[in-house]
Amino acid sequence: MTPLDPTDPAVHRTRIAVRWSDMDAFKHINHARMVTLLEEARVDWLASVDPDVAAMLRNSVVAHLEVRYRTPLTHADNPLEVSMWLDRVRSADLTVRYEVRAAGADPTARPAVEASTQLALGDPYTQTLRRLTTEQRARLAPWVRPS
């Protein structure tokens, strides 16, 4: 993957606090907690975008998740710097990519964690997938950075 440009407007960057309870017995961030930290970053992104975009994605559910650990992260790496963007927007789902680094790490250096979540867009009333309109896909375009 090409290194992220620190000025790329498609990439949302946030800092996520690591709690002591996020550590496992080896003093690394526990896998389940990393997934929660990624979710916190996604929520931060949704809070920062246009309210119509946030509403469009409100009923999405995680359909698939991948997390690749390259180096351990610990409490001393606090806060984590999470970069995230949309990798793909399809008719009823989208893929969010993440890079996680220790606080103060070079933003162009290899991330400690690379992850992705595929979000399926649902209709809570009919319990079915909801298709994005052409206009909705256009509203998401500013955050798309294909790999």
Instruction: Single out the residue of 5, 14, 24, 31 nearest to residue 113, CA to CA.
Output: 31
Burial of 115 (0-12, 13-18, 19+ CB in 10 A): buried
Could you tell me the pTM of the whole model?
Answer: 0.90
Q: What is the pLDDT of residue 94?
A: 95
Return the number of other C-beta atoms located less than 10 Å from residue 76's C-beta. Answer: 9
Report CA-CA distances (Å) from 141 to 2, 9, 12, 30: 19, 11, 13, 33
Q: What is the pLDDT of residue 54?
A: 87
Q: What is the pLDDT of residue 2?
A: 66
pLDDT tens digits for the chain (147 residues)? Answer: 567 777 888 899 999 999 888 888 888 898 999 999 999 999 999 989 888 888 888 889 999 999 999 999 998 999 999 999 999 999 999 999 999 999 889 888 899 999 999 999 988 788 889 999 999 999 999 999 976
CA 87/CA 85 separation, integer angstroms? 6
Taking only the tens place, the pLDDT of each residue in 73-112 is 998 999 999 999 999 999 999 999 999 999 889 888 899 9
